[in-house]
Copies of this chain bind each other. A is one copy, B any other.
Amino acid sequence: MEENQNPDEDNQEILQNLDETGQTEELVEMFEELPTPDVVEFLEDKSIDEIISYLNDVDAEDQGRIFSDFSIDLQVELCRTLDRRKIATIFRHMYSDIRADLYQELTKDEQIGLLPYLDKKVREDVIILSAYPPETAGGIMNTDFATVFEGMSVAQAMAKIRHDAPSKDMVIYIYVIDDVMVMKGFVTLKDLVLADPNAKVSDLLNEFFVHAEVNEDRESVAQKIEKYDLAAIPVLNSLNQLVGIVGHDDAIQVMQAEQTEDLERLAGVMPSEEGEDYMQTSTLRHFRKRVVWLVGLAAMGIISGIIINEYQGVLEHFIILAMYMPMMASTGGNTGTQAATVIIRALSLGHITDDEWIKIVFKEIRISAMLSICVALLTYFKIVFLSFHGLLPEGFTMSFVGLTISLAIAIQVVTSAVIGAGLPLIVRRLGGDPAVVASPAISTIVDITGLLIYFSVASALLGVA
């Protein structure tokens, strides 16, 4: 096993060892060699003063790279500790999108105090990137891209990239623009490397390219990156000028954020904000994120109470009905949640659209009909064989009561599947996010419909009210 094939835990060990043995020079050298997240993991355990002293030991470019990977809280704290000239140097070498996010975290006074120290280019970049709402392509894009002109030869293009590129982290696509920044297409660095130096950029140009609009929703941008397997997508303004790019790493973050949102909505928890962390979030905020749905649904539970009150005559005669009420409610909730989850996921993966709602509802009816037979059979045998005979009024057999309850539960399963599948489709059709039809909401709704079904069937077949 070679020393240089180390997973990240070993990278931490390398840093710890050098630190403990006081080999500061070698340690700082490692800051330049190791993957940034490993260096950041090591540094974030140190005190602010230590972090600053380490940062001073690495060159400006590495300062910007490492600083960009710190948590936003640490970035802000460092900004408040360092003098403005130093911050300006770090700003010059940070990733443009992270720099803009940091700038927005500063107070108005801090922003105004810092601006005169920034290079003109950095200042403009920060202000422009801060202007877009965070949910849009503009809000997540960066400006770390390389451009060439259509009329250039390959050799000229390579020379321009050599001149422009050192500050950019990764160069994969080279964007081809005209003299007013209107995007004409792209070439890959590989294309340029493989091409005859005397060839024209226009000969290599991919002019049919996928792009995002600057105001486009970030989820749609992430979906394009995924669909077209892009390493980065160019972002254009309404004049078709290239204003930024969104990388595949940003797409992954957007997708994770959206997935967390979906999951939380399904569970009736208010969506987390960007980067919200369980442990760091206060108890009060956790409480606030859950209380609305919980109390709201509990309040709706009053309807169940009213229905039960309405049918108390039936319940008094057939106390056995009370015994199967919880199973009725939970089976309905489970069926509805299953159907809703499957539909919401299929909608968000683009496997189905709300236009197909008739087909989907019929499919759910078929599926739930099969499920209802199983659940009804189980219920029937449970009732007949466990037979709490003492609970029956005279003149009724356990098998007839079993049939009644089983029939009610079979109807409940089909109804719940249709409600669970139908609600997200309706919400999508109205233009909303289907995941807002939280699983607790569906459970509460099918509790109510379930009780109505249960007591209607019971009073019809058993002849009491």
**Residues on A facing B (Cβ under 8 Å):** 1-2, 4-8, 11, 30, 33-37, 158, 161-162, 165-166, 170-172, 182-185, 188-190, 193-194, 206-211, 224-229, 231, 236, 240, 247-249, 251-252, 255-256, 259-260, 262-264, 266-269, 277-279, 283-284, 286-287, 290-291, 293-295, 297-299, 301-302, 304-305, 308-309, 312, 315-316, 319, 322-327, 329-331, 333-335, 337-338, 340-346, 349, 351-352, 356, 359-360, 363, 366-367, 370-371, 374-375, 378-379, 382, 386, 388, 391, 413, 439-440, 443-444, 447, 451
Please give the distance in Å from A248's CB to the nearest CB on chain B: 4
What are the residues of chain B within 8 A of A351 when measuring CB–CB?
277-279
Contact A283 B326 (CB under 8 A): no
Contact A301 B371 (CB under 8 A): no
**Nearest 7 pairs between A and B by C-beta?**
A301-B327, A267-B341, A278-B346, A304-B326, A229-B249, A334-B440, A305-B323
Question: Apart from A158-B193, A299-B378, A301-B324, what 18 extra A-B contacts exist at CB < 8 Å?
Answer: A2-B240, A6-B208, A33-B207, A162-B194, A231-B231, A256-B349, A263-B266, A266-B267, A269-B342, A278-B346, A279-B351, A279-B352, A290-B338, A294-B375, A295-B375, A301-B330, A308-B322, A337-B440
Contact A315 B322 (CB under 8 A): yes
Contact flag A326-B329 (CB < 8 Å), given A35-B208, A255-B256, A342-B264: yes
Chain B: which residue is nearest A249 at the CB level?
B229
What are the residues of chain B within 8 A of A337 when measuring CB–CB?
267-268, 439-440
* Chain A binding surface, main DSSP class: helix
Contact B327 A325 (CB under 8 A): no
| In the bound complex, CA of A327 to CA of B448 (Å) | 11
| In the bound complex, CA of A165 to CA of B188 (Å) | 13
Please give the distance in Å from A458's CB to the nearest CB on chain B: 14
| In the bound complex, CA of A8 to CA of B225 (Å) | 12
Contact flag A341-B269 (CB < 8 Å), given A194-B165, A252-B252, A286-B363: yes
Contact A326 B193 (CB under 8 A): no
What are the residues of chain B within 8 A of A30 when measuring CB–CB?
208
Contact B342 A374 (CB under 8 A): no
Contact A228 B295 (CB under 8 A): no
Chain B: which residue is nearest A234 at the CB level?
B5
What are the residues of chain B within 8 A of A298 when measuring CB–CB?
327, 330-331, 334, 375, 378-379
Please give the distance in Å from A41's CB to the nearest CB on chain B: 10
Contact flag A443-B330 (CB < 8 Å), given A185-B4, A308-B323: yes
